[in-house]
Amino acid sequence: MLINEITILPGMNKLGKKENFKEIKIKKGEVATIVGPTGAGKSQLLYDIEKIAQGDTKSKRKILINGSVPDRDWRFNPKRKLIASLAQSMNFLTDMSVQDFLKLHLESRGKKARAGLIEEVIREANKITGEAISPKTNLLNLSGGQSRALMVSDVANISISPIILIDEIENAGIKKEKAIKILVEENKIVLMVTHDPSLALSANERIVIKNGGITKVLKATKKEKNIAQYLNWIESDNLKIREKIRKGEEIKQVEIYCRSIK
């Protein structure tokens, strides 16, 4: 079954009031961010989507796949792997090399590795992590950021899951914008909880949560995308300086971008 879009239908907030929206559609290749204060109920929305809720969760929301109620098999059969989740912190517990882990993951999916696929996954992971990952590196020796980068690339290139849920990727110690780009280029449907302004403003739309309910759905404007680009420039300079500091280099010059945002 080809997944082209998911639809979120309204439920109830923590006060028992019905959410005031008709529906929210997110299509493949799109990114939606979920924003709101701590404790507002952002994780509940991720949970509803992960469970493909049909009014049977605390929020009473319903999730449609391609505009229809999904078959029970899509909800409860673990082999379907409709949704993949990337948590804030990810650390492996398996004593094996990165290369062997990826081979095992491919076998568990019933897929044969085409020539160069495993190398491609590792190479793409290294584009978004500060410290390079080697195929021979033991999983137990990966840092949190390396683990997250490996799983982003794994989800993009190996996983069959068309829907990706991410919880605060900005806290993962990876190059977040590149990580999102990798998933979007693979036509994944991406929903992520974030407090990061550049991520929130660069998404196709952002879902605002308050008191456990969705209160607004905002489409990104051209001005907001320009602001996100400006914030990314600042972030890029910050990352370059951080890498130089890590390498023990002296900081002699900083490029500052100035731009009128219209």
Residues 42-80 have pLDDT tens digits of 999 999 999 999 999 999 999 999 999 988 877 777 666
| In contact, 23 and 29? CB cutoff 8 Å | no
Instruction: Check residue 230 and give its pLDDT.
Output: 87
- pLDDT at 218 (0 to 100): 95
What angle separates helix 144-157 from helix 176-185, to the nearest 10 degrees? 10
d(CA 127, CA 182): 10
How many alpha carbons lie under 13 Å from residue 143 in its C-beta half-sphere? Answer: 13
Which amino acid type is present at position 188? K
Within 10 angstroms of residue 219's Cβ, the number of other Cβ atoms is: 9
Each residue's pLDDT tens digit, 215-255: 999 999 999 989 988 888 887 777 778 778 878 888 876 65
Domains (range + CATH), the chain: 5-220 (3.40.50.300), 222-262 (no CATH)
- pLDDT, residue 239, reads 74
User: Residue 218 corresponds to which tokens in the numbers above?
Assistant: 């905002």
Q: How confident is the model at residue 108 (pLDDT cuts 50, 70, 90)?
A: confident
Please determine, for residue 1, whether its predicted confidence score (pLDDT) is greater than 70.
no
pLDDT per position as a tens digit, 73-105: 777 776 667 888 887 666 677 789 999 989 888
Asked if residues 155 and 148 have their Cβ atoms less than 8 Å apart, the reply is no
Is a pLDDT exceeding 70 seen at residue 110? no
Of 238 and 18, which is predicted with more confidence?
18
